[in-house]
Structure 1
Amino acid sequence: MFPEELPDFFIKAFSNKGDTVLDPFMGSGTTAKMAALNGRNYIGFEVSEEYIEIANQRIETAVTQ
């Protein structure tokens, strides 16, 4: 994982609320999480089922708080 501040900055700087953020290497879902928290849609690709589960959990937890 990398710091959440990194995708947060770029998402805010280069997109608007309601836009869609693409993450072709989703990993643990940091970019998708920050997109959701900033009112953006997201599309992410990941081949590891383990990481997909981790990403889904992180995103769900973030948006329900």
Structure 2
Amino acid sequence: MQDLIQQLQEKAGLSAEQATQAITVMRDYVKSKVPPFIGDTVDKWFAGMDSPQQPAKDVAASDDFLDG
């Protein structure tokens, strides 16, 4: 997810804090659109977003689609 934060900073001109907040909004939006039992999976996709200075945690390979 650190890559996504960097892209938001470069392409949208956001600060690290703004980029992290934008991703938090996206995570919450996605969680509101999926069945509750999928919420934990969504949290895993966005793992590591709480601290933009640290590299994102490695999550299951199922998040590969987010890189493309």
Task: Give the TM-score category using the shorter length.
Answer: 0.3 to 0.5
Larger radius of gyration: 2
TM-score, with structure 1 as normaliser: 0.37
Higher helix share: 2
Higher strand share: 1
